[in-house]
Every structure is written in structure tokens, then in C-alpha cells.
Amino acid sequence: MRKLCLPGYGTLIPVALLLGFAPFYPEPHLVGKVRMLFAGTLSKPLDVFDLFWHTWPFALLLVRIVVDLKGKKGES
């Protein structure tokens, strides 16, 4: 099986926090897009792209955590 080459936590955490919560004022973009998603008003292509753009760092961080936990489970 091929090993994934993922960025380290030192890169992923700041990117997830900065890109996920930018702009910080008046409301993080991700919060607004998730609110639109649950309200059923996330219909414009730009809004869907924005949701993806502000979410991917968190998804990549989650993949990194899962890969690391599976690797530790396999070692013990």
C-alpha cells in the first residue's frame, strides 16, 4: 500500500484556522456557509465553492489525524 505524503501538523493547523475562519469579523465565512447549507439557501455555485474552499483544510487535517492514529494502532 502506498503511503500518503501529507503536510505536518505545524502547517495544517495554522492553515485550517486561518483559511477556515477568515474573515474573522463580523462572522467567519465558514460559519455563514454552513448556516446557509442547513437553511437550504446554499445554491449559488460561488457559495458552494466557498464552502469547499474554507472546509478543505479541516478535511485534510482530519485525514492526517486518522492516518496517524491508524499507523499507531498498527504499530502496537
pLDDT at 1: 59
- What average pLDDT does range 52-70 have in this prediction? 92
Cα–Cα dist 21/58, whole Å: 11
Cα–Cα dist 33/50, whole Å: 8
**pLDDT by residue (tens digit) across 22-46?**
888 888 888 999 999 999 999 999 9
Classify 6 in phi/psi space as left (phi over 0), alpha (psi -120 to 50) or beta. beta
